[in-house]
Chain A
Amino acid sequence: MIVQVRELAYRYGEAEALRGLSFEVPEGQVFGLVGPDGAGKTTLLKLIAGILPVQTGELLVLGENVGQTQVLVRQAIGYIPQRFSLYRDLTVEENVEFTARLYPLKPDFARRQQELLEMVDLARFRKRLADQLSGGMKQKLALLCALIHEPSLLLMDEPTTGVDPVSRREFWTLVFELQRTGLTVVASTPYMDEAEQFDRVALIHQGKFVRMGTTGEIRASLPGHVLEVECDKPFQARGVLQGYEVELFGDRIHVFMEKPSPEEVVERLKTGGIRTTRAELVPYSIEDVFLRVTA
């Protein structure tokens, strides 16, 4: 096990940020954290990174107590905080070299730097100031710097916030390629489509895990059904379907129902002047579960 957590709790003064979390992350797994703003995702990541001290409960990283063993275990961790924290007035290359110097320098540093620069497609920009990189490139640089000392565990706090749809897919593809080399990852994200790609996901709400499992397990964790409807006036559908639980997904709507009765919904929409082009029972998405569990 790379991460082992038992009954972990944390408070900021009076406020309880985490209220008794227990979980494990095995080697080579990508473990995701999702949850509402202020649910405790960042606090948990900071505890695992050894930035916050453990107050209550047990937290082991690579079998070691992060708070007590200091140096060795921290060298095995790479951490990308929520806010861009590299030096904006240093170039790509200078940032990498500066970060590398914080750790014992390995003899093959030059080769690793070159490999990583090519992998994240920043070799062309090695002389560019970090401040002049686009959002997607900044995050790739943050990834590179977090990996330069060859950690076994990578922690990332919403690494793709503000990153465009194509760049964030490129970012995660990189991470999944790294996973194949044995890297273990714990990451938070506000994008539920990203969460569906993780090996396991924990949904945090008010400092507690209210769901944890594979995407399949989380989808199956709610009773009832989801009816996905494509229609000509999706934004008016909620008004027409009063009494139902309805959520908007782009230009589609999801209607949550105890018993599957698509005909009833289609008929109601029709009476309200909305023409349905497709109505199909679909599995819960992680976003559906999120919306229902945290409501």
Chain B
Amino acid sequence: MKYAVDVKDLTRRFGDFVAVDKVSFQIAAGSIFGFLGPNGAGKSTVIRMLLGILPVSDGEGTVLGRDIRTQADAIRSQVGYMAQKFSLYEDLTVWENLQFFAGIFLVKDPGRLEHLLELLRLKDYRKTLAVALPGGIRQRLAFAVALVHDPEIVFLDEPTGAVDPALRRYFWEIIVDLSQSGKTVMVTTHYMDEVERCDQICFIYGGRLIAQGSPSELKREHVSGHIYQFEPTARLEALHALARLPDVRNPFPAGSAVRFQSEASLADLQPRVQSYLKTPLAQVRPTLEDVFISLVGAKK
């Protein structure tokens, strides 16, 4: 099987509202697929259709070679799903949650659960009720549960939301390991630095697919002009001033710096932003965050 997921013209309507509009893409088996877009773009709706939780209005698709319209049950036993909202039992402990899902998926090997506790660094929380877990640790439990039955494909809907910087990196080590062992991962995230690790990315906006490619392809094709950055003397003033320059696009804060896109040269821009500079104006390499901001900025 070449593609773990293969969808064509996938569409979902809620009444008159078209939440997902003729979306087509393929996910190569064993790859990491990044699914991006602003809040409300339709990402979770697509994932729910792939899982067979939500019926398809139009279009077709397969997951692991099975039809998402007619073989949802067969699909569900082979996929792992980490929902955006915490969907485990709050009144069960960490260990009880794992056992419960192991029961549903008929996981016999007790070593599997111990392995997952270890992998997601949950040993200290074994007897803690899920309701009492801090946000990032709930995410670890949800991730562990998604992996309970060693699924062929894992859908991770914002796995690293509320997860601290060190643990985010660790989650991604696990994701890369899954991919290297032949599993397929479809992941959504709002952290653009993480997306660099994806083999392929689809970007949806307003239910439509508006860009796709590898991280380097997206940076090449969807960032026009140059990216500039500087540390401002006063951030809001600098952003307001940049917004007034006709040849500057998408000025935005990037950490303590201010960043923007422009076709103009450094020498041309320098005198015009001079009074806001705390550090020299520098031309920098685009990141996927710039891609995201360009794509959304062009639509707004």
Contact = CB atoms under 8 A, between A and B. Distances in A.
Interface stretch (A32-40, A48-56, A69-77): A32-40
Interface of A: 35-38, 42, 82, 133-137, 158, 161-169, 172-173, 176-177, 180, 190-193, 196-197, 215, 230, 234-235, 247-251, 278, 285-287, 290-291, 294-295
Kindly name the residue among B37, B40, B163, B194 whose own CB sees the greatest number of chain A CB atoms within 10 A. B40
Nearest to B43: A164
Given A37-B163, A166-B297, 11 more contacts: A164-B37, A166-B292, A167-B38, A172-B253, A173-B253, A177-B236, A250-B287, A290-B165, A291-B165, A291-B169, A294-B166
Given A250-B196, A295-B166, A164 B236 contact: no
Contacts of B169: 247-248, 291
A291 B108 CA distance: 38
Given A82-B135, A169-B253, A177-B236, A162 B293 contact: no
Contacts of A251: 196, 215, 287
Nearest to B160: A190
B193 A250 contact: yes
B39 A134 contact: yes
Contacts of B38: 134, 136, 164, 166-167
Kindly name the residue among A38, A158, A177, A290 whose own CB sees the greatest number of chain B CB atoms within 10 A. A38
Nearest to A138: B39
Contacts of B165: 190, 192, 287, 290-291
A165 B297 CA distance: 11
Given A36-B167, A137-B39, A176 B235 contact: yes
A274 B29 CA distance: 27
B158 interface: yes
Contacts of A294: 164, 166
A215 B254 CA distance: 13
Contacts of A165: 190, 192, 289, 292-293, 296
Nearest to A166: B296
B256 A197 contact: yes
Q: Which 7 A-B pairs have the closest CB atoms?
A: A37-B136, A134-B40, A135-B39, A250-B193, A134-B39, A196-B255, A196-B256
Kindly name the residue among A165, A173, A191, A295 whose own CB sees the greatest number of chain B CB atoms within 10 A. A165
A179 B198 CA distance: 38
A192 B166 CA distance: 11
Interface in B280-298: 285, 287-289, 292-293, 296-297
A245 B155 CA distance: 32
Given A215-B256, A249-B193, A287-B165, A163 B239 contact: no
